Structure 1
Amino acid sequence: MKTLQIIKQDQDKIISLVEHETTHTKYIQKELNYYDKTLYQILQKIKSPYLPKIFVIQENDNHLTLIEEYINGKTLDQQILSKEDVRNIMHQLCECLDTLHKLNPPIIHRDIKPENIIYHDNKVTLLDFGIARFLDSKKSKDTLILGSVGYAAPEQFGFQQSNPQTDIYALGKLMNYLLNGSLEHQNNIPFDLKQVILKATQLDYKNRYNSVKEMDLAIQGKAVIIPPFNHETLKSKLVSLAWILFIFILVVDMEPGDTIKNSFINKLSCFVFIYFGLFLYYNKNLFHKYLPKIPWPILYSIIFFLFLCLDVWFFMWMDSLI
């Protein structure tokens, strides 16, 4: 191999662009002093369009040499992106991380940031697994404090162990940065994506999305929550179940009304109306996505009123048929 350029060099690693002297094919060569050989062996076996192929893994004198696929393209910090580009990038990253998080044990990347992601021809490639690690269920916190400031989750600073929600936190911060150039401010970010970012970057990892798959569905606006069946957390399911039980107790002793004479139809009408308020609350991102300029409390009231009219009309019609 002929070295063409040293891309990065520090006490932990040397990353170089090299070329095969016969075929003139370019590769990335990494010489690592801090590494987990098993992790790279697992990565080598993964067939993912979002990860560079690893061709050679060689260990000598307490350092590891990798020969990886060379991806020609710019990293995210070198590009100006549209909102649709950002959605596409986040979708691909979620698919990539979903593959890693579903391994046994899961692999946590722990260093998701613009400099570690190439976006070329509408395709994402996730780079640099230098501080990635396997999830260890026996440990309560990380032994080393590693990660990039701004993107690293609180648990990476020694409070708890890194887990799949650690990468979700970094994805939220990354999306915030890609949408407006800031890690903190949320100016000009669409309401639905703002809500995704807020949930993904909760300080307590238990309050973030349960998986990157759930986060991806929220980003793409495809997640319709039907309480209490498909909430992302057990807490939300229990709250919904408690609220539905309360509605049931409330309507079970209702007397027939003046508008709807049939007792059962009247109770069912009230139950559906109150249940819709719960459904609307959990699906506010979905509704607000199409009318982002209307403040959510006002939009909620309008939708609720329209549904009330529809509910009364439908069940009055049902009542007239009986």
Structure 2
Amino acid sequence: MKQGKISDYVNPVPIKITDDKAIFKVEKLVPTPYIERVLPLEYAPLYEQLAELDTAIPKIVCLEKSDRLTVIEEYIDSPRLDQYLETHKLTSAQIHDLICQLLDVLAVLHQQTPPIIHRDIKPENIFYDGQKLILADFDIARNMQEDADRDTRILGSVGYAAPEQFGFSQSGPASDFYAVGVLMNVLYTGCLPSVRLYKGPEREIIEKATHINSQKRYQSAQEFKDAITGLGRSSWLLPGFRSHQPARMLTAGCGYLLMLFSSFSMDAKSDSAADSFLLRLSFFMVLFLIVLFACNYRNIKSMCLFHSSKSKFTRACGIIISYLLVATVLTTALAALSVAISSFGH
């Protein structure tokens, strides 16, 4: 932490003032903006810990204790994530990268002695410029206490706060992972999981992260991150097989066999065996494409026309049009191949 005095920071502009806390935007004697936080002294051990960390959080440049704790931290000149999302729609790859960056920060926080639990992860407390993430606002963060059976204060943002933050048990690393799971769902759908749960391949990760029982959630940032990076290895599996659940895999397998049987047993009147085969293959591919689009295989909907629209109807039209375009291109290509084979035969 850089050395300095509170008196070096001037021109306070109020940002947030409550009964026990105050946050100001201030400047050093040279015109560089900083953030000043005036907090109860009980926050001193936490902010002394934060001042020593080298991770993606606002750097603390000065701490001073009197009857209150005064903290000077760097001013982040980037939009908040909620502001960024108003004008940008993230791709699946960007969401994965953002969540993994966030988990890297949490890994550092949770590895401290005692562990630091943020307890208020949400878009409003994250700065993001499209590439780099910074986790901010530790005003309700706490140190995890091994001998405590529940939180002494009920704090957190509704929708993002884990059940234990409402007094059922002590919050811990899994509480932060709950909020990360909610955030991941919001980034994909724009809604909390309780309103609309994402249906893509990340669904199982979100469901595990937001399980009501903290013991059944991810227990470390690395475990959570491994689940996300593991999607890249399993994302090529066909719909129905990505879950690795026997019942779903059996159902999917039967469905694919039925599609094959119905396609290649159809009466295809043609002049040659090759033409008949390509006609049946074309019919099968049209059916198969419906499955891929319906199941959002490899996040195919994010590549469809109008996928960034806020209108569900417009997005649905974009998916249908995109499907028809792909199906038309595919069947046209197979028809051209059939003509080429016929010409070669003659």
Partner of residue 144, structure 1: 153
Deviation per CA, 1:185-235: give whole Å up to 9, x if none.
345x353211101000010100101111111111222698xxxxxxxxxxx
**Partner SS state of residue 107, structure 2:** helix
Cα displacement (A) at 1:38: 0.8
Partner of residue 195, structure 2: 185
TM-align CA RMSD: 2.6
Corresponding position: 1:74 with 2:79: yes
Deviation per CA, 1:143-201: give whole Å up to 9, x if none.
111111111111111111111101011111111112111112345x3532111010000
**Conserved 8 A contact 1:106-1:134:** yes
- What CA distance in whole angstroms lies between the structure 2 residues aligned with 1:302 and 1:196? 21
**Conserved 8 A contact 1:108-1:167:** yes
Q: TM-score, normalised by structure 2?
A: 0.64
For residues 1-322 of structure 1, the aligned pairs below 5 Å read 1-3=9-11, 5-21=13-29, 23-33=30-40, 35-48=42-55, 50-61=56-67, 63-80=68-85, 81-82=89-90, 83-183=92-192, 184-186=194-196, 189=198, 191-221=200-230, 286=234, 290-292=237-239, 297=247, 299=249
Cα displacement (A) at 1:15: 1.3
**Conserved 8 A contact 1:217-1:223:** no
- What CA distance in whole angstroms lies between the structure 1 residues aligned with 2:82 and 2:50? 25
3-12 or 294-303, which moves further after superposition? 294-303
**Partner SS state of residue 29, structure 1:** strand
- What CA distance in whole angstroms lies between the structure 2 residues aligned with 1:56 and 1:17? 14
Aligned residues: 240
Cα displacement (A) at 1:121: 4.7
- What CA distance in whole angstroms lies between the structure 2 residues aligned with 1:135 and 1:301? 45
**Conserved 8 A contact 1:13-1:33:** yes
- What CA distance in whole angstroms lies between the structure 2 residues aligned with 1:159 and 1:104? 24
Amino acid at match of 2:230: G
Q: TM-score, normalised by structure 1?
A: 0.68
- The 1:151/1:302 distance shift into structure 2, 3 A limit, reads closer
Cα displacement (A) at 1:294: 7.8
- The 1:294/1:139 distance shift into structure 2, 3 A limit, reads closer
- The 1:65/1:292 distance shift into structure 2, 3 A limit, reads farther
Unaligned runs of 5+ residues in structure 1 are 225-285, 307-322
Unaligned runs of 5+ residues in structure 2 are 1-8, 257-346
- The 1:77/1:101 distance shift into structure 2, 3 A limit, reads same
